[in-house]
Structures are given as structure tokens and as C-alpha cells.
Amino acid sequence: MTTTTEVPQVETLQLVDGGMNFDGVQALEDVSISVKSGEVVGLIGPNGSGKTTTLNLVSGMLHPTTGRVMLGDKDLTRMSMRKRARIGIVRTFQSVRVFGRLTVAENIEVAALGCGMRRHEARELTEELLEELNLESVANTAAESSPAGLIRTIGIARALATRPKFLLLDEPAAGQNESEAVELIEAIRNISRRRACGVLLVEHDMSVVMSTCDRLHVLDSGRTVIAGLPQDIRHDPQVVEIYFGKRH
């Protein structure tokens, strides 16, 4: 799988002591999380635990009230989401937000163009991604009228078209059953391995991330509960309580 010609240097994207305060509501407090090139990190926690807020901070959609976002030793804290996309930190949305009346192929091509690729490069990459993600049959269909099950894949293909170094996925498997979700995330994992791309994956289903992530980060009420390897986290009493134990 690994190509011998290019050896990409390993980079680290991290949120350092990130805090987010929305008009007095502390949505996130002192959360530190990091992703290395080629690694899949799962970000889990119950609803309202701050997963999406964390992703928004890392992607640049929101700027943290405290803490920093770093790529290696470069400070990105104030950099816009658009500029981050152009340096290879790209996100997807829970609601996908496809470009509905553009074709599936155009959805992918335009993201490549957005990140500065030349037209023919963008087209070649589009063809590759359509094939890799089995979207060829719908390539010339308007994205909004393609089958619901493919919409999420289109969103991922679009993100990959920017040639990301880091892919930030907001519940990419939402609405799918467990086996479909595992399959989709496995596919994402293979793709990112091949591209030596780091993945930060927001997911609320524990069992999905257990089998697919290299490391896990558990949030609850805007704070880190625990971070580590999946097998260590599975039996952590706090996590068990959050997920299976008493409900407040």
C-alpha cells in the first residue's frame, strides 16, 4: 500500500488547551487533542459533550476563546477555515452540505479547484476519486438527486479532492447501521493510510470507533474524560458509566 517514491513527513495537528465559551456557556474547557499523519483518532462522547465544537475549533469554523490550534510549530489559531482548507486541513459536515444542483463530479472537481489545483489535475483527481469511492455511476447526476446512501460518500470524496493532510469528519456514518458504518469508516481509513493523511473522526457510536480508530478521545460536558488506545478505554469505569451506566 505505501508508495516508496514519496515519504511524507509526519506532521501533528493539535488543539492545545482549547476552550470555547458561547455567551457565558462553557461548551469546551481545556481540551487537548492531537492527530498525527496517517493516524485515525476517534472523538467520542454523548450528545452535547463538545465533539462538534472541538471539530469546529480544529477546522477553523470557530476560533477558541482560550487555547491554540497548532500544525507542527505553526500557530493556526486565528487562521480562517478557508485558509486551513488550502493548507490541507479540511472538514466534512454532519449534514454533508453537498452542492445540490452541481453534478457529483462537479462537487469533487470544484473542491480541488478551490484548493488551487489546475483544471486538468482537478479532473484527473476527480476521475480517480469517483472510481475509488464507487461513485462513477452517479458522476453526472445532480448531487441532490443521487441516492441518499451516497450523499455521505460524496461529502468525503469532496473533502479528499482537496488533497488533505488532515481530514476532520463530523459523524460521517450518521444514519447508517453499524455494519455500514464500520464499512464506510474502514474505507476512509484505507484511503487516509494510502495518502498518509491524519483523520479526526467524530462519532457517537462507541462500537463503530472501537474497531476502526488507532486512538480514542472521550469527551463529556466539554471536558476530556480519557484519551488513549481503544482497548484501554473500553473498560474504563468512567466511560462505561457515561455510555452504559446511570443516566442523569
Partner 1 sequence: MTNSTRIRRLFETPILLVALMGLVALIAVFGDPTITRVTVQALIAVVFVAGLSLFSGNSGVMSFGHVGFMAIGAYTTAYLTIPVNLKSSMFSDLPESLGFLATIHAPFPIAVLVGGLAAAVLALVTAPIMARLGGLQAGIATLALLVIVFTVLNSWTDVTRGSSSMIGLPKSTTIWWAAGIAALVIVIAWAYKKSRSGLQLQASREDYLAATASGIAVGRHRVFAWVLSSIPVGFAGALYAGFFTTFNSQTFFLSLTFSFIVMIVLGGYLSLSGAVIGALGVSVLQEILRRFQDGAFTGGISLPAGIADLILAAVLLFVLVKAPLGLMGTRELRLFRKRSIGSAS
Which residues are near partner 1 by CB under 8 A? 59, 61, 80-82, 85-86, 90-91, 93, 97-102, 105-107, 109-111, 113-116, 119, 122, 138-142, 145, 158-159, 161-162
Helices then strands, counting H and E runs in the chain, come out as 9, 10
Ramachandran assignment for 219, one of left (phi > 0), alpha (psi -120 to 50 degrees), beta (any other): beta
Name the minimum Å distance from CB 141 to partner 1: 4
Q: Provide, rounded to whole angstroms, the least separation between the CB of residue 78 and partner 1.
A: 16
76 contacts 168 by C-beta, under 8 angstroms: no
User: Distance of alpha carbon 227 from its chain centroid, rounded?
Assistant: 17
- Identify which of residues 86 and 223 has a Cβ nearer to partner 1 in the complex: 86
CB of 75 vs partner 1, minimal distance in Å: 20
* Nearer Cβ to partner 1 (159/227): 159
| Closest among 87, 234, 110 to 163, alpha carbons compared | 87
Q: How far is the CB of 245 from partner 1 (least distance, A)?
A: 37
Q: Give the span between the Cα atoms of 127 and 150, in whole angstroms.
A: 16
Residue placing its CB nearer to partner 1 in the complex, 15 or 90? 90
Q: How far is CA 19 from CA 26, 28, 48, 66, 77, in A?
A: 8, 5, 15, 5, 12
Q: Which is nearer to partner 1, 99 or 243 (CB)?
A: 99
